[in-house]
A and B are shown apart, each in its own frame.
Chain A
Amino acid sequence: MNGEMVIPKKRKLDKNQIRERISGYILMAPAAILLFVFTVYPIGFLFYRSLHGGNLITNDPKYTGFKNYEKIFKSADFQKVLLNTLTYTLITVVITIILAVIIAAWLKGSRNPKLNEFTQTVMFTPHVISMVSVATLFLWMMDSKNGLFNTVLQALGLPQGTFISSPSTALFSVALVQIWKSLGYYVLLIMAAIQNIPQSVYEAAEMDDTPKLRVFFKITIPMISPTILFTTVVATIASFKVFDSVSIMTGGGPVNATNTLVYYIYDYAFRYGKPGQASAAGIILLIFVCIITFIQFQVSKSRVHYQ
């Protein structure tokens, strides 16, 4: 350690160093203030508000302790909302990631490279389009009377679907829209990871005449496992946040079948005028997001497969 040598030097900053430090703070200040005002303070206030009663316009809401949490956890509605959110997330994430890995490996294959490029370009398109339009379009196509899906099913002599009109199929239908919209994005991310696998690994497999399916499971998947983990986390958090499609397609119905956490928070704050309970639900969402992020950190620390 050469600490003894460094300390006396450090204590005396010359003028330039001081000036530089000050400019560091000044340049960071606008962003830091905005980030504080729009992220840190709101989280604190959300927690504070979740411990208070009152409505949207109450100036001095009464302290109620953890009563709001008690209320929402005891209500069947909120239990349903939690279950919906987790089911929705599970459906969306599992289907999206499995399809994305398969399609990405397929499009990275050697056959028809020009078609691969085109397929990928087309697949990504829905990701840059507003969920408003995507959801409206699917709302119409899924319409049980005049919708395109049922018209086609009927023409083919198949049984018609109920889609968003029945509580048993509505959540899956909304998930389907999310999967369709974001699949191309995850394919893109996973293709970028496959791109980074050193070609030599594949060449070795080719020399041994390893079957393609074996290459996929024994080389491709382990090599891209950090990306699979990362995309799973991104997709999970995106699913927790679902709001636009629910708001446009179902409004949480029928009979709460598609009511998810963010929609519930919105509804409780603005329609039922109970910001205390809405804030408590917001804290639950915050905990979910923190848990997922924490898992990501832990897992990516313990097993990274890159070289």
Chain B
Amino acid sequence: MSSADAAGDRKDVRVPALAPDCDLTRLDLSPQEGFLLSRIDGHTPKDLLSQLAGLPPHDVDLCLARWAEAGVVVWSKAGPPATERVNGASATRAGAPPRLEANASSPEGESAAAATEAGSPAVASDLPALDPGLDIPEEAQQAILDFHERLERPYAEILGVASDADARAVKRAYFQLSKEFHPDRWFRRDIGPFKEPLERIFRKVVEAYELMSDPTVRAEMERSLGADAEAAPVEGADSADPKAASERAERRRKRALSPFSPLGRLIAKRKAKAKSFFEAAMAAVSDERWLEAAASLRLAVAYDPKSALYRERFGEVQAQAHEIRFAQLMKEADSALSFRDRKDALRIYEEALIFRPYDPEANHVAAKLAWLAADDLHRAKEYAMRAVEADPDKAEYHRGLGQIYAAAGLKANARRELKTALRLDPRDLEAKQALKSL
């Protein structure tokens, strides 16, 4: 995301953020959409969101546009159009205002490459500016800022060792970095806003150390890394050559997804998890334990959203599971009604509607129960309308809606619905009577 490749393939670096004080519960979202929404943190730019959520960029665009319209999401000031240049690291270094910008695309200058392509937009956003008033020397502050920018690099680079370094070298590097970046170094000192980035650095160093000294992880990394294992070339020199720039972009992409990088490592881990859930689900399917299978598949999809296979099977199994649950609940509701427990029946119907929101009969009955058992005409109207919407040719449903309108005192609406009911079924006595009493 450096300015270098902004010239070649222009990336969308706009940053969506959640609107403050916005009630998210009123949105009706699919789990995938919910997941996408949950990834919006005000720092992560749009194109990275699509990667994180595992959704095609087009879908992400659509969702974001919809949410922006609904006022849930706002585009943060950070980096509207990708071409706009904002303060880069070099500016901050001179003591400029704090960097709020999420993904500073640094202008030319010596620090361009180092500062931007490594600095993860997700975490680089809240870095503080140097502050001589703090109880920590400015050189140490600068060291924290500099190191923080490298946190998204491959683990070996974070530790400053070769990717094939032995356990002893890895440990030495870890100890050395701990001496510098363990929070205890500044125990009881006022290090102000540097506390959070410092802890982040130390946690990342521990993570790098743990993974690089785990022999099974190392073996896996080396297997899948193959030919890319060469150390990444230093870059940032000749941004004029577009071909070189696009090659660099490709290398960078590969590196970001390589098992050495935190992101690549994360994806590999999630994929393995997804697979184990998928296997559990398939076992459940063969035993016709549909509810269990659906739950496992849902997790498989959540962990590996890109797998078409998981999605497809999830769709099928979930439909099956929902049918089963719906049928179970209908039975329960019948039994509740046979005991004349209408309140309980309403509760069960409402639960059933979670699984088949547009079932006309269930909505129709739920409407009646909401009206008669809970005295909630508003809710009753919602259900009755949905029944009518789902099956507009059924006189009974129009009559039901009409009766609820009548009870609510909305006479014009009531007449319209009752008349429709009579048009569909001229022998509907109940509708006739209701119309008469209006």
Q: Do A and B come from one complex?
A: no
Q: Which residues of B contact A (CB under 8 A)?
A: none
